[in-house]
Amino acid sequence: MESFFNKLFSSVRDGVITVAHGNEKYDVEFEPGQVEGGRVTVGELRDSCVEFTKAPRQQIRLLYRGKLLSQDAVKLSDVGIRSGSKVLCMATKNLPRNGGNDASERKERELANARNNPIEALLKLRGSIERDIEPEVERYLAAEENKEQHDRLAELLLQKLFLLDGIVATETFAEDQRLELRQKRKEAVQYAQGLLDRIDKQVKE
C-alpha cells in the first residue's frame, strides 16, 4: 500500500501527513518535529480530518498500512507514521432518518448481522471480494489498464479492509469462537492486502 501512495506523493515536508479521502488528497500540517517527536496523536489527526470531510468526528476512520487507527490517545510515531506518511480516511456523513431510506435500513440490518453473526458476516465479506473484486484485479493486471482503474480497485479494497477490521466478537462469544474469528479475519485481511499489493506493485513498475 505504501508503494502506491509514495507513487502519488513524492515530496516530503516536515510535519505534513497526506490524507487520502475519496478521490482527493489533503496535506494535514503539524508543527515541524512534532510528528517524529511523538507529540501528535491519532485523535489530533482525526480532528484535522473533520474540516475537509464535513463528517461527524465519530464517523471518521483512519487506516495506515492496512491497520485501523482506532485509539485516539496513540501517538502517530508509535504506529510508524512520520512526516510524508500517507493515511487513508473514510468518513460517513449522518443521513436523515426516514421510512423511505431503504439503503440506510439495509445498512443497519447488515451491521446488526455483523454483531450477531460476525463469522458469517466475515465469510460473506470475503466472498464478495473473491466474487466481485478479484476478477477485476486479474483483468487489470493482465491488460495493464490505466491508473484510474487502479485507483478505483485500490479504493474498493481499502473499503473492504475497513469493514473487515470492524468485525469483532461480542462478549457473549466463547474463547474458541473468538480465536476462530480472529484467525479468519487475519486470513481475510491478508488476502485483501495481497490483492492491493499486487496492483500497487504494477503501478510502481
Is a pLDDT exceeding 80 seen at residue 126? yes
Give the chain as a 3 state SS string.
CHHHHHHHCCCCCCCEEEEEECCEEEEEECCCCCCCCCCCEHHHHHHHHHHHHCCCHHHEEEEECCEEECCCCCEHHHHCCCCCCEEEEEECCCCCCCCCCHHHHHHHHHHHHHHHCHHHHHHHHHHHHHHHHHHHHHHHHHHCCCHHHHHHHHHHHHHHHHHHHCCCCCCCCCHHHHHHHHHHHHHHHHHHHHHHHHHHHHHHC
Residue with the larger pLDDT of the pair 166 and 85: 85
Task: Name the percent of the chain lying above pLDDT 90.
Answer: 36
Mean of pLDDT values over 29-37: 95
Q: What is the pLDDT of residues 136-152, one digit of tens each?
A: 999 999 886 677 788 78
pTM of the model: 0.58
Mean of pLDDT values over 81-99: 73
